[in-house]
Structure 1
Amino acid sequence: MSPEEDHNLTTLLEVADVVAIFGKSWGLHVKDILRTTPSENLRLIRESVDFLKRNGATVIYDAEHFFDGYAADRAYAMRTLKAAEGGSDVIVLCDTNGGRLPSEIFRVVREVRRRIAKPIGIHAHNDAGCAVANTLMAVEAGARHVQGTVNGLGERAGNADLTSVLPSLKLKMGAKFSNLRKLTEISDYVYELANIRHDPYKPYVGRFAFSHKGGVHVDAIMKNTRSYEHVDPDIVGNRRIIYVSDQSGKASIVAKAGEFGLRLQKSDPKVEEILQAVKEREGEGYQFENADASLYLLMLEMLGRGRSLFDIAAWTSIIHGDGERVTADGTVMMKVGDKIIHTASQGNGPVNALDLALRKALKEVYPKAEGVRLTGYRVKEIDAEVGTAANVRVIIDFSNGGESWSTVGVSTNILEASKKALLDGYRYFLLRNH
């Protein structure tokens, strides 16, 4: 078949000015997958690329499995590039199986650059965990075109992650392109589109990328941020987070209080009291790293600034089973000042029913509570060795459409732990917005 008869090639010309196509660089694929001869494969590459170029396209040629092919038969792998060189604008070397290491990528790209005049690109997969490193080493060796995906999403172990590649190129290797202040936002947006939970440990854009917990680290960060941060988080649209835990010191408490708008000095006796309260709670199973709202309420309590906007006098949450259908009823008796409010709601589970009843009661006095929604619910068994009598930790995520916050509750009863986290969530919102 000639290129003119190839529907795939003619369609590309109809819909795009810039076209990326791939061809085989590895004899194994030529023989076992395409089931053709080496010379026929070269003809297919040459004629396809030339046809696209002749018809006005900018052509990006992806040399699939190039590094594997180069390792097996470098002479033939180079012949495939030569076949594409005449009609292509960029030749992209692909580590399609993702198994090559950075030192090899650097060496091969440098060797190819000496023999190919066209700009060289890199396309790396992450099967050996080296996609980002391989991409950067290729650029170091002379590649000027980079392929990757946001968050590294891709087949198998994924592709080179542009949220790591781009800031490293700009901030570490002097690449010239526009600012990266939307990078974290873009990463979050793509995770939401893909309905994939965000990875908090991602370099540059993860929630933990610029987080600090240990007392020594936090104390140093408060004196000079460069002491434990390789770049300013604001450059990539991220932010610094100070976590408070049983590893924390007074500097962590002061820094975290500052984030909440509470001004404290390390010499203030209240700082030591808050630190001890945190350690006591963590001894009971609480963790505040992912529950800032509960930590804020604890700080207010220890500082004597807490306000009881409502109290729960009684509550129930009951499950009903009817064949395959299961529902739950939740009731709340709430006291706000001298007012007693009774509400009941039905939900698809006991926590949902309790949340609906609680929100129904709150909105009678605090209308803004109507806009609060639960966006996440996680349960962790703390001391599993005691079986069903184990303490459980419940973390609940909330949002009102513009702000997000999280709370924690601990109990041997999962509903009691959930209730604690629910109440903290609404109390935090009302204190910050009432």
Structure 2
Amino acid sequence: MPPEAVGNRRRVMVSDQGGKANFLAELKRRGIDVPRDDHRLDALISVVKEREAEGYAYEGADASFELLARKMLHGLPEFFNVTSFRCMVERRFDANGQLKTVSEAIVKVMVEGEEKMSVAEGHGPVNALDIALRKDLGKFQSEIADMELADFKVRILNGGTEAITRVLIESHDGTGARWWTVGVSENIIDASFQALMDSIVYKLMKNRDMAGLVAAE
């Protein structure tokens, strides 16, 4: 019985174990057309395998895979550009004498040649970065108003204080759509920021009907 007959869909492996046929099937499902003998397809497969060797997991982060594929095969619009970000964690006593840990993030972005700086506090550094990044994106701000971070998963890929960290983020919006993005770095904040960036760009693409099927089906 085909999975579609019971409300599911057939998942195609896009990873270091996946062959060209799997990549073509997944790209087609997402509305991305590319000839089998196109050198850009070979380059995409090579990059995916390299990144998965570094710790990325595109099989569980379809939105990040789609962004990478579109960028390498057809190009992506640059909605905004992050010029810098900073995150600080401070432990201090509040007005009631209670010890609290507060995270603050500062994000600078360029939107249509105009630099914007946003500052936000959050329940942890990732929450603070998420709020700051989505605080002022100029003309795109209204497009992400219904977007929320739904889940956040961290996996340490090797031991020690210099461990490589993989972050998976699930996001959703007012339409009910959900998608997963991934970031990998020696720094958990940097890995988280990569995943947050992909999530917002995917949302903006989705709003323009440029993205494929929901990435977390």
Would the aligned equivalents of 1:332 and 1:361 in 2 still touch at CA under 8 Å? no
Give the C-alpha shift of residue 321 in structure 1: 1.0
> Offset of 1:249 from its aligned partner?
0.8
Tell me which amino acid in the other structure corresponds to 1:407.
T
Q: 1:243 aligned to 2:13?
A: yes
| Contact 2:12-2:25 at 8 Å conserved across structures | yes
Distance in 1 between residues matched to 2:53 and 2:77, nearest whole Å: 26
How far the C-alpha of 1:363 sits from its partner, in A, is 5.9
Mapping for residues 90-101 of structure 1, pairs under 5 Å: none
Residues 348-404 of structure 1 deviation map (CA, whole Å, 9 limit, x = unaligned): 1100001001111226533111111011101111122xx010110000000003210
Aligned partner (choices 165, 170, 174) of residue 392 of structure 1: 165
Retained in 2: the 8 A contact 1:293–1:425?
Answer: yes
Residue 354 (structure 1) aligned to one of 115, 129, 134: 129
Distance in 1 (alpha carbons) for counterparts of 2:11 and 2:204 = 23
Divergent runs of 4+, >4 A: none
CA distance in 2, matches of 1:363, 1:398: 21
Task: Find the counterpart in structure 2 of residue 296 from structure 1.
Answer: 66
**Counterpart position of 1:417:** 191
Equivalent AA in structure 2 for residue 298 of structure 1: L
Do the aligned partners of residues 370 and 363 (structure 1) sit closer, same or farther apart at CA in structure 2, a change above 3 Å counting?
farther
Question: Residue 418 and residue 364 in structure 1: after superposition, are their counterparts in 2 closer, same or farther (change >3 A)?
Answer: same
Alpha-carbon distance, 1:427 to partner: 0.7
Q: TM-score under structure 2 normalisation?
A: 0.89
> SS of 1:360's equivalent?
coil
Which has the larger share of helix?
A: 1
Q: CA deviation at 1:253?
A: 1.1
Is 1:326 matched up with 2:101? yes
1:243 offset after TM fit, Å?
Answer: 2.3
Which residue in the other structure is 1:371 paired with? Answer: 146
Q: Which has the higher strand share?
A: 2
Is residue 2:200 matched to residue 1:426? yes
- 8 Å CA contact 1:395–1:408 kept in 2: the answer is yes
Is 1:309 paired with 2:83? Answer: no
Using the alignment, how far apart are the partners of 1:363 and 1:396 within structure 2? 24
| Contact kept in structure 2, 1:374 and 1:398, CA below 8 Å | yes
Post-superposition CA distance 1:50-77 (Å, at most 9, x none):
xxxxxxxxxxxxxxxxxxxxxxxxxxxx
Counterpart Cα distance in 2 of 1:245 and 1:339: 38
CA distance in 1, matches of 2:72, 2:81: 19
Amino acid at match of 2:173: N
Q: Secondary structure at the match of 1:277?
A: helix
The answer for unaligned runs of 5 or more in structure 1 is: 1-230
Task: Report the aligned-residue RMSD.
Answer: 1.3
Query: 2:13 is aligned with what amino acid?
Result: Y
Aligned-partner SS, 1:426: helix
* SS, match of residue 145 in structure 2: helix
**In 2, Cα distance between equivalents of 1:254 and 1:416:** 31
Which of 15, 40, 58 is the aligned partner of 1:270?
Answer: 40
- 2:24 equivalent in structure 1: 254
Greater radius of gyration (CA):
1
1:194-273 matches, cutoff 5 A: 231-273=1-43
Q: CA deviation at 1:258?
A: 1.0
Q: Do the aligned residues in 2 keep the contact of 1:360 with 1:370 (CA within 8 Å)?
A: no
Query: Once structures 1 and 2 are overlaid, which stretch shifts more, 247-256 or 233-242?
Result: 233-242
Q: What secondary structure does 1:253 align onto?
A: helix
- AA at the equivalent of 2:146: G
Query: Would the aligned equivalents of 1:330 and 1:344 in 2 still touch at CA under 8 Å?
Result: yes
The percent of aligned pairs where both chains have the same amino acid is 37
Partner of 1:240, secondary structure, is: coil
Q: Is the 8 A contact 1:319 1:350 kept in 2?
A: yes
Summarize the alignment of residues 2-17 of structure 1 with structure 2, pairs less than 5 Å apart.
none
Deviation at 1:422, TM superposition (A): 0.4
Q: Greater relative contact order: 1 or 2 (C-alpha under 8 angstroms, separation 6 or more)?
A: 2
The one-letter code matched in structure 2 to 1:371 is D
Moved more, 341-350 or 265-274: 265-274
Work out the CA distance in 2 between the residues paired with 1:373 and 1:282: 27
Is 2:183–2:195's contact at 8 Å kept on the other side of the alignment? yes
